Copies of this chain bind each other. A is one copy, B any other.
Amino acid sequence: MKIGELSRRTGVPTRMLRYYEEQDLLHPGRADNGYRRYPESAVYRVQQIRGLLDSGLTTEIIRRILPFLNEPDEIHLHPQCLTPELAELLEAEASRIQQRIDCLSRNRDAIRAYLAAVRSAGLYNVDSEN
């Protein structure tokens, strides 16, 4: 598909799709006239990139871990591709991600607990029609 369709289907502006390509997160092919051609899988890929960016990861980190996230590539499954340094990077990144999850979970719980507490106090009626 062309960039416009990918943009419509993901809600991400074309400007950003070109930017992600510049950052080595996307690698569309090219048609004869120079237009970018994206595979179906790019839709999911873009959503994944957006989610990670929204969660505070930088394009640089995303670029590094992306090859190991969704591609069931035979290439990457060969153990010799996993140098100790790379394993360490992935471990480290997984734990930084875990830290974020913990922080977000705590705060989500706090918000929900607050809402529940106030509502159970009874004066506020959720179904108020006013």
Point out residues on A near B: beta carbons under 8 Å.
48, 51-56, 65, 68-70, 76-82, 84, 87, 90-91, 93-94, 97-101, 103-105, 107-108, 110-112, 114-115, 117-119, 121-124, 126, 128
**Is there contact, CB below 8 Å, between B94 and A108?**
yes
Q: Are B76 and A114 in contact (CB under 8 A)?
A: yes
How near does chain B come to A108, taking the closest CB pair, in angstroms? 5
Number of copies: 2
Return A42 CB to nearest CB of chain B, in Å.
17
Q: Which residues of B contact A77 (CB under 8 A)?
A: 117-118, 121
Partner of A108, one of B98, B105, B108: B98
Nearest chain B CB to A122 CB, angstrom units: 7
Q: Name the contact of A54 in the complex, choosing from B51, B100, B128 (C-beta under 8 A).
A: B100
Report the Cα distance A52→B77, complex, angstroms. 34
CA distance A110 to B107 in the complex (A): 24
